[in-house]
Amino acid sequence: MNYSPRLKVKYNENIKLKLKKKFRYECIMQIPKLTKIVINQGINIHDKNTLNYAIENISLISGQKAIFCKSKCDESGFKLRKGTPISVKVTLRRNRMYEFLERLINIALPRVRDFKGVNKNSFDGKGNYNLGIREQIIFPELKQDFKQNLGMNITFVTTAKKDKEAKYLLYLFGLPFQT
């Protein structure tokens, strides 16, 4: 028997039908879907231990090996040289994407102090949503004895043409938007 994440089954059985009914799509290929989730974390370039620490933590959170991104040019104002690692990222697709989304919605976000929902205005105009997290400690995969608390950016990339469609898609997945 093939394994399929719970949110993927929910999308195929319920969410597609609700989206098609609400936006009156003529073809099933017009129905928006979540294509990937990108987790990005900027790091302190002057501390060599921060890079390894960030890669280890993002890999634990996502369940996939993270990579570091290098600077493309020199910037004297930031004391930055070309080729210096400046951030860590991981791109999740298919089953890992749905598993991460379920853990984010059901486990991590409720652990945020004074949580009232995610910002409903963080769409980019093309159907993609950005979520900034200030403290990575909300993920239970991480050890409590952390060296430094780094924030991260999570980008949800969808095939929706409008923000309204993408917002409804993420709402149906269970992402708690502010009212």
Residue 46 has a CB neighbour count (10 Å cut-off) of 8
User: What is the reported pLDDT for 32?
Assistant: 92
Q: Mind listing the pLDDT tens digit of every residue in the chain (179 residues)?
A: 588 888 899 989 889 889 888 989 888 888 899 999 999 988 766 666 777 778 888 888 888 898 887 777 777 776 767 777 778 899 999 999 999 999 888 888 888 878 888 888 888 888 899 988 887 778 877 776 556 667 888 999 999 888 888 899 999 988 888 87
Domains of the chain, each with CATH number or no CATH: 6-41+88-173 (3.30.1440.10)
User: What is the reported pLDDT for 50?
Assistant: 74
